[in-house]
Amino acid sequence: MEPSETRKNKSPTATVSRRTFLKLLAAGVSGFLIARLFDFLATKTIETQTSTVTATVTKTVTATTTIGPTAKSAKVVMVRGAPNISPQALVDKALELLGGVEKLVPVGATILVKPNVGFYEKDAVTDPQLTAAVIRSLKRAKPARIVIGESSVRGFDTEHALRVTGMRGVAEEAGAEVRDLRKDTVVSVDLPKGRAITSVDIFKTVHDSSYIVNIPRLKRHSATVTTICLKNMMGTLPDSEKGRFHQVNLSQCIADLNSAIRPNLIVIDATRAMTRGGPTGGTMVDLNLVIASLDPVAADAVAAEELFKAEGVSDPHGAVSRIEHIQRAAELGIGVADSSKIEVLEVTLS
């Protein structure tokens, strides 16, 4: 057979022999696969590394824990001190005016103290000395245990925040156990009153506590106007839930969360408050003030007004009524935002 005839029988592309074609195909595909495999392996190793660090397991789904009666009126105490007055003196006076810790806290309570240690910046977190003062006072109520729990803002390592702000050392010395909640397991809690969300995952330590003491620092906040005790409760949630709050409706979610996990006692650190520019890197104002209440909504409303006054806002009262999460919380019956129904007891120590 002549070579020309051979060519005739084949198509123009058939200059590639079967063997060459298969080689080409195999080379192409394997090149492609190897590239993908590298990517896959790289991600895989990192994933296993990170998962060991942040692993939290949802254990149980529990029924609702709606706490506290629907408040009709509220009492808030404000204790101011001359510059030489210690945090302990301010805290002791505030708790005394609320009725005394022995009466407030049931004997044998498992107490969770929730300061704000969301950041590495000292001005942006609750004063450790004030936290220690609260712990020392709480011990007089003979609780079964006092745990300090925090899950810092996403992007901040809680363990480092606890150490660098001095919180861990001071709180442990005062007699509390300090826990990085990110290492805790999570529990799903129903929010029957919730308007934006119907359930939330919270850390088990928080869920299992019989008495929650919320010690926020008084600060302005770029997204929620203020961050006081209602907003501070976000530190009881894993990062995924914090993220969801922002995606859904931050203010309503904060109210929804507090409707089920309502702090029992609020002691606001307004010794140094952060005004404009908060929640980090804002302007600091020395107030040497402690605000305490059993009503988280009233505490936030009164404290927010003090913050606006310190800032020189023209209508501080009106400004409070425009803080959405405080108003949403009042609507859910978590507490009282209406200042005419809040009894404010103010004393100055000198």
Partner 1 sequence: MKRREFLKLFGVGVAVISLFDVLPRIMKGRELVRPPGGLVEDALNAVCIRCARCAQICPTGAIVLASLSDGFKELGTPRIDALRGPCERVQGRCERQAKCAEICPTGAILQVDRRALKMGSAIINADRCIAWRGGSCLVCHEVCPVQGAISLIDEARPIFHADICVGCGRCVYACPAQPKALSLSPKGERRPSSA
Q: Can you give the binding site for partner 1, defined by CB under 8 A? A: 11, 13-14, 16, 18, 21-22, 24-25, 27-29, 31-32, 34-35, 38-39, 41-42, 46, 49-50, 53, 119-120, 153-157, 160, 221-224, 242-247, 249-251, 279-281, 324
Contacts of 279 (CB under 8 A, 6+ apart): 118, 119, 124, 219, 220, 221, 222, 227
Q: Whose Cβ is closer to partner 1: residue 134's or residue 196's?
A: 196
CB of 22: closest distance to partner 1 in angstroms? 8
CB of 51: closest distance to partner 1 in angstroms? 11
Buried b (16+ CB within 10 A) or exposed e, 166-187: bbbebbeebebebbbbbebbbb
Q: Whose Cβ is closer to partner 1: residue 159's or residue 172's?
A: 159
The span from the CA of 130 to the CA of 267, in Å, is: 9
CB of 43: closest distance to partner 1 in angstroms? 8
The span from the CA of 68 to the CA of 332, in Å, is: 12
CB of 247: closest distance to partner 1 in angstroms? 6
Q: Whose Cβ is closer to partner 1: residue 39's or residue 286's?
A: 39
Q: Is 55 left (phi over 0), alpha (psi -120 to 50) or beta?
A: beta
Q: Whose Cβ is closer to partner 1: residue 15's or residue 350's?
A: 15
How many CB atoms are located within 10 Å of the residue 220 CB? 21
What does 240-290 look like in DSSP terms, one character per residue? HHHHHHHHH-HHHHHHHHHHHS--SEEEEEEEEEE-TTTTSS--EEEEEEE
Q: Whose Cβ is closer to partner 1: residue 210's or residue 249's?
A: 249
CB of 100: closest distance to partner 1 in angstroms? 37
- Alpha helices for the chain (secondary structure H): 3-9, 18-54, 87-97, 101-104, 128-139, 158-164, 167-174, 204-208, 229-232, 239-248, 250-260, 296-311, 316-321, 324-331
CB of 319: closest distance to partner 1 in angstroms? 13
Q: Whose Cβ is closer to partner 1: residue 49's or residue 350's?
A: 49
CB of 164: closest distance to partner 1 in angstroms? 8
The span from the CA of 250 to the CA of 187, in Å, is: 21
Triad 134, 139, 145: Cα angle to 5°: 105
Q: Whose Cβ is closer to partner 1: residue 180's or residue 295's?
A: 180
The span from the CA of 196 to the CA of 332, in Å, is: 12
CB of 277: closest distance to partner 1 in angstroms? 9
Q: Which residue do the tokens 């910046």 mark? A: 121
CB of 279: closest distance to partner 1 in angstroms? 6
Q: Whose Cβ is closer to partner 1: residue 152's or residue 293's?
A: 152
Output the six-digit token pair for 267: 């002691």
Q: Whose Cβ is closer to partner 1: residue 32's or residue 62's?
A: 32
How many CB atoms are located within 10 Å of the residue 38 CB? 10
